Structure 1
Amino acid sequence: MSIASQATAFPNGQEEGTTARTGQPAVRHVAAAERALSVLDALQDGDELGTNEIARRTGINASTVSRLLATLAERRYVEHVPATGRYRLSLRLVELGNAVLGRLDLRDLARPHLRALVRSTGETATLSAPGEHDAVTVDFEHGSAAVRSVAQLGRPSVGHATAVGKVLLAFGRVEPPAPPLTAYARRTITDPARLADELDRVRRRGFAESHDEREEGLSAIAAPVHGGRAELAGIVGVQGPSSRFDAAARRAAIPLLLEHTADLSRDLGARG
């Protein structure tokens, strides 16, 4: 019997096991896949959950949830926390998210602005995407100077210790980190009251600065990019060695940064 004759015909003319001729997704769903996705949705808030709690939230019986979690853990979509016996989403989803971000229009729109900032300042320009807790670098252009700061795709920007992170806390729907605040360098803000004052300052000025706060010898500025619904769509930053990207250099670069983020926001449909 041929493969074609083994396929089961459906009323719409589509055959099971064949690609839809209309170019549209098939209408028949796989129940096991839907249940697995329901488990992932239950974990999307970032909480660690046990099997019974996931079963309660999804309406799937606990034994099935247990098997789904074992499968998802084996494929690295969730991870088991031995200390609590619970489960949480894994960094595998960050990898997939970065693959999606790789084709976002924002990167294409932002790249000319990053290059222009590098030409104007000589320093490294970065584009970050806002996340639930941190902003993640999704694109960058290295500075033209011989000694330049190193940017990495996928690197998170710590909220209280980086210019990009401060923009996320000031303009994104993200709660400030709970104390105690980690001291990464000698100038890291570790006092929650001082951090609150700093974020108010960022909102008033429309940009953030950092100087030897995440790393010794690294300074940066950053500003928000807003989308058509006034949401925080991205963050553009400029960073360089503190010995060269000093207070005077940062002051000179801030108007350029704000000009480019305003243009990029307008490209995304933001008003005002």
Structure 2
Amino acid sequence: MVDDNKLTVRAVERALDILLCFTDASDLSLTEISGRVGLHKSTVHRLIASLESKGFLVRHAETDKFRLGLRIWELAAGMSQTDDPAVLLLPEMERLRDIVGETVSLYVRDGLERIRIQAVQSNQAIRRVARVGVRLPLYVGASSKILVAFADPETLEELKKSEDWPNGPERERFLEQIREARRLGYATSIEEREEGAAAIAAPIFNRSHKLVAALAVSGPANRLTMEQMKQDAPIIVEAANRMGKMIR
């Protein structure tokens, strides 16, 4: 006999999986959603109908594709701006962008991944475009080094056990970079994850000195050179410290 409670929970999980499909896409067809969540079209159709009825999804009549509905934005508007770093720190991020002239991002750790929760794009013609909501691995990149270096020791131990954790010289190099980040108070990366891109990141601590996020500045590697990043480091660290004082 099937437990009705388990069926209900499973339906909720599947509905949430459908909504999460839109973290990296604005419009999706029934077939595309079905493929992403690994469910039969008939099941997905029923779940989408429920989400439509509550305003979480809307269907475009001409393309027959779905997109997020206004109810999602109503929920987002209900978030406390005093508690949400993505909202609270945005003016300071814009201020930093205007000083260094490059794209500024805010990352938080979620398990063994990092998520970009806010971004302010550079005003320069050639720039690195950072998309909010993107999930990235925790073992590469300046922000990853910060989120590991200044997190609880258990985070690094958990990362070491991951199948994605690099082996051999790459592992030792990453561990050395983490030690260097702790010593300097910031981390850098040049073309580690993306060809032609460079980044520098610093930790944001709250008033209890608990790591909240990584503040990153990124741009083209030919402009954001190691020399330039070292020059910008005190500015970025100071900005991160200032942002930390704003967080309860």
TM-score bracket for this pair, using the shorter chain length: 0.5 to 0.7
Could you tell me which of 255, 259, 262 is aligned with 2:241?
262
Which residue number corresponds to residue 71 of structure 1? 11
Could you tell me which of 119, 126, 148 is aligned with 1:140?
119
Q: How does 1:173-184 map to 2 (within 5 A)?
A: 173=152, 174=155, 175-177=158-160, 178-181=162-165
Residue 139 of structure 1 aligns to a residue whose secondary structure is: strand
Tell me the CA shift for residue 151 of structure 1. Answer: 0.3
Which residue number corresponds to residue 118 of structure 1? 97
Tell me the CA shift for residue 64 of structure 1. Answer: 3.9
Distance in 1 of aligned mates of 2:37 and 2:169: 31
Q: How does 1:11-160 map to 2 (within 5 A)?
A: 63-76=3-16, 99=76, 103=81, 104-160=83-139
Distance in 1 of aligned mates of 2:229 and 2:236: 10
Count residues in correspondence.
191
Whether the 8 Å contact between 1:130 and 1:172 is mirrored in structure 2 is: no
Distance in 2 of aligned mates of 1:101 and 1:205: 35
Q: Which has the higher contact order (CA 8 A, sep 6+)?
A: 2
Q: Does 1:213 align with 2:153?
A: no
Q: TM-score, normalised by structure 1?
A: 0.61
Distance in 2 of aligned mates of 1:102 and 1:142: 24
Q: How does 1:193-204 map to 2 (within 5 A)?
A: 193-204=172-183
Distance in 2 of aligned mates of 1:203 and 1:135: 19
Q: TM-score, normalised by structure 2?
A: 0.66
Tell me the CA shift for residue 191 of structure 1. Answer: 2.3
Distance in 1 of aligned mates of 2:80 and 2:131: 14
Whether the 8 Å contact between 1:180 and 1:190 is mirrored in structure 2 is: no
Q: 1:74 to 1:220 in 2, by over 3 A?
A: closer
Q: Deviations over 1:140-199 (max 9, x none)?
A: 11112110001011112322211111111111242325255469xxxxx97222222211
Q: Which has the higher helix share?
A: 2
Tell me the CA shift for residue 254 of structure 1. Answer: 0.7
Q: 1:145 to 1:101 in 2, by over 3 A?
A: farther
Q: Does 1:238 align with 2:178?
A: no
Which stretch shows the higher mean deviation, 200-209 or 156-165? 156-165
State percent identity of aligned pairs: 23
Letter in 2 for 1:221: I
Tell me the CA shift for residue 65 of structure 1. Answer: 4.9
User: Once superposed, what is the RMSD of the aligned Cα atoms?
Assistant: 3.1
> 4+ runs of 1 displaced by more than 3 Å?
76-82, 98-105, 179-183
Q: 1:206 to 1:157 in 2, by over 3 A?
A: farther
Residue 207 of structure 2 aligns to a residue whose secondary structure is: coil
Q: 1:130 to 1:102 in 2, by over 3 A?
A: farther
